[in-house]
Structure 1
């Protein structure tokens, strides 16, 4: 696999790409990324079908086997899988500058909308509109999480070990909700998978020449954020450090980050209520693009209490913080992917990490269902959203719209 050019092309110039070495204009590629963003609903698994159709079948920027390899690479890394996949395609097509632009085109529209939606509760209060119009969004969002837990669990539980790790992740994080428990159980799952594999030559030596500057920046932001956060009481700094940490602790996309965010922002810091959290998660289901854009809503909600500008800063801190570590990691790893994928222990550890992550999602569905209450109409909304998602004939945005309309009418 080629890593593409590393020198940034001039604006509007052709860049080498994909199948047959035909030149591709930057503007054309970014337009295709935007089309992917408009059609991508439902998380990484659904997004990949959009990438396959637009990037492989229609435009031939890369082959189907290349796309599958990139998906595998981004699944190994923490961070937003869909975003990292698109960034890697941009890197392959036109180098790091095009990769960065692709991420902006892909993520910025959804981040902007979720930033605006973080003012939703103030808007309703200013216009004397009852918060009851949002009451079914929370139970509906629980339905989305239940379906995600089932689908991911079915995918990651493949044998007795992964079943045990799945249950370990669920039970441990149900009883211990401290922020440190999530990285601990994920690391345990990866280590257990490697230690119990009993396969020869798992740590086979490979030759790598990684661009270390991106790993240095990744570490500087991680350690520097912790240091600065202890020196100041700035809410924006605290939020950036928190969301940056979510970005490098989470494997597998938006559904996996929900239990980590909920434990930290709702239960630990009490920046918002369960209903407010679930409302944002329900709203993001109706938007195309990356589910990590939920961070802009959560960051904005956590920064309430000051000026509107401070709330926008909170949303920006959340959005930038959660996407930045994944971007730096894919910039570090992609150029050495050919060698990295030959290390068997990396692939083996992913089985355990994914199994534990599935347990985290399953228990988050239970906790959030309990938090949203067990009123009959709420349970009916959850059951209906599960049924519609399982049926697969109704798009996610229409389910969100139906929940909003039901809250207004009833």
Structure 2
């Protein structure tokens, strides 16, 4: 924020209002320690590096002031003086260059002392920053004013995001009217302490709804959304962290725009049929109104889409559905639930959950929606319309690849895609592992999956063994938090398939090769894979690699990598990798055959599910089996990256590209097509390999 003179001034945020602090310097140079503690980590390291380089540069100039002060240094060479300064400050002393005069000895003595003090200060600051008690609390994004036990109440939520306890937590809450004028005519901020139903608790482990009853003594009393338009609610929290035995403090402010009137927070605590309790933090910020059921009922009265309109909608979604299956699910939810009101939100969530049983769950969800409107025929033509754009694009790219991949320019581009493909596989394993690896037993299964996959053990024995262990032990003891949860399509990470029902089994190979591949062989191979293709997404990659590269030798490792890259460049599910493989074997006919064969088992199962939808029950035995299979699948997916590593990472530059690609995919959630474009560009420029 700038003052009237145009200079930037320090400011403080109170609710939705930003207040300038005039008369104070923007930076408090006399309080360097506080600045060092409050800098961001990138800023902190940038300052350290700048000071380090600047100090060495100054000492290098001091050495150069004495023409012959450094023995064995080139006369007047700043680089020699600079690196001698680096060695002296770090007290390394390689012995090649050394002080040669009394002046240079004095300078080096001064630099050693400065370096020791500087490193000690930097170490102390690092320790101070790491040892600061940092709260890891989750405050609700909004506040609620609504009925609770028949009384109007102001409510917020707070939760502990760490897996430990906060002892003796306490909360204070104040209401500030930003433009309130006192009876004496003074215009300043007036703070009203709010009396809470409960302002302290013995421990905070899960979630705490902080409540203030609005009665005659409340400053909220008599206020409406129109009259409460310039206020701030300040919340302060303190407690003792049981792990670090330090007092942690946190605060949160809410403005008038953050208050939801006439609603209540969604209940996030649920009890499974077996009595196990769970809390769903993905719905922590959600608020429902008293009219939600009426709105839900109103959705079922919306006029159904005509068949051509529905097919056109699926065609559009199939053309713009970049980002993987979960991105497609989010678009489907927006179009069919929110915008067009074609079915209730609860039924859509059921569709997504049931679609995860077998195959790629984006086409399965489309099948469910099409069946609900126009029966089996509507389901089949809906899936065809949805897959048409991605299959067409893959066939076209496969044609270009088969014709031009031997040209050095294009071959160089494909070399740049290999490291990104490895990053895509590892990012998928990371995304699924965060959800599945909730305890040390799950980690053990994942490591077993990595080892057996890297040793090329047939996955059918690996996963059957894991599943049998899950049946014997039970998911309660095996995987923490493995109870089923409702899906929320709008909150899922893009390209992250669900892990509650993921597994795949690899059948023994048919012993064929490219020369002997026939329509029957290709169709039967992909049909078998489709019969055991659980979970969708990147789960398919190790299955196809084992069959097409290791057993059948239909693709080379490099061709397989290129196929994964091409499938990621297109919208829709990554299952179109089968389209690429089919085209490589038998042209357009083979591409269509492989795609249809892979999806056929899932379509048959979805037809059965749609028919028996109302009578489907959750099988506890299946949950026990999959509780062990799911982490094993994560390990097998990671092992696919190990198997492809040799051909995809030919140099340290390719390794660096893979690391950067993983950061872009995981930390910044870039779309795979953009990351692949980066790899291709670097290859064209000659930076890779």
- TM-score range, shorter-chain basis? 0.7 to 0.9
Q: Which residue of 2 aligns with 1:34?
A: 315
Cα gap change, 1:18/1:328 in structure 2, threshold over 3 Å: closer, same or farther?
Answer: farther
Structure 1 portions without partners, runs of 5+: 1-16, 200-225, 304-309
Aligned match of 2:128: none
TM-score (norm 1): 0.79
Mean Cα displacement is larger for which, 139-148 or 163-172?
163-172
Aligned length: 354
Structure 2 residue 622 is matched with structure 1 residue 339: no
- Name which of 433, 436, 440 aligns with 1:156: 436
Of 317, 325, 330 in structure 1, the residue corresponding to residue 601 of structure 2 is: 325
RMSD (CA atoms): 2.6
Give, in whole Å, the separation in 1 of the partners of 2:405 and 2:634: 37
Show the counterpart of 2:657: 381
CA positional deviation for 1:300? 1.7
Q: Secondary structure at the match of 2:305?
A: strand
C-alpha spacing 1:348/1:198, structure 2 compared with 1 (3 Å): closer
Aligned counterpart in structure 2 of residue 360 of structure 1, from 608, 618, 636: 636
5 Å-filtered alignment, 1:230-241, equals 234-241=517-524
SS of alignment partner, residue 600 of structure 2 = helix
Q: Does residue 194 in structure 1 map to residue 471 in structure 2?
A: yes
Structure 2: distance between partners of 1:149 and 1:127: 33
Q: Please say which of residues 236-245 and 27-36 is displaced more in the overlay.
A: 27-36
- Aligned pair in 2 of structure 1 residues 20, 164: CA closer, same or farther (>3 Å)? farther
Q: Which runs of 5+ in 2 are unaligned?
A: 1-297, 477-508
Of residues 528, 551, 554, the one that matches 1:268 is 551
Q: Aligned equivalents of 1:126 and 1:159: distance in 2? A: 47
Verify the 8 A CA contact 2:417 2:562 in the aligned structure 1: yes
Q: Which residue of 1 aligns with 2:134?
A: none
- Name whichever structure is richer in strand by fraction: 2
CA 64–125 in structure 1, closer or farther in 2 if over 3 Å, else same: closer
In 1, Cα distance between equivalents of 2:667 and 2:406: 39
Q: Which one is further off, 92-101 or 168-177? A: 168-177
User: CA shift at 1:146, angstroms?
Assistant: 0.8
Q: Which residue of 2 aligns with 1:287?
A: 570
The corresponding residue for 1:97 is 377
Query: Following the alignment from structure 1 to structure 2, what is the Cα–Cα distance between the partners of residues 354 and 126?
Result: 39
**1:88 equivalent in alignment to 2:368:** yes
Q: Which residue of 2 is the match for residue 122 of structure 1?
A: 402
2:326 corresponds to 1:49: no
Structure 2: how far apart are the matches of 1:90 and 1:353?
A: 31
1:343 deviates by 2.9
1:358-405 CA-to-partner distances (Å, cap 9, x unmatched) read 121111122222332341221122112111112335332222222222
Greater helix share, structure number: 1
* 3-state SS in 1 of match to 2:572: coil
**How far 1:97 sits from its partner (Å)?**
0.9
Q: Check 1:370–1:298 CA distance in 2 against 1; reply closer, same or farther (3 A cut).
A: same
Greater relative CO, 1 or 2 (CA 8 Å, sep 6+): 1
**Is residue 106 of structure 1 aligned with residue 386 of structure 2?**
yes
Q: 1:137 to 1:125 in 2, by over 3 A?
A: closer
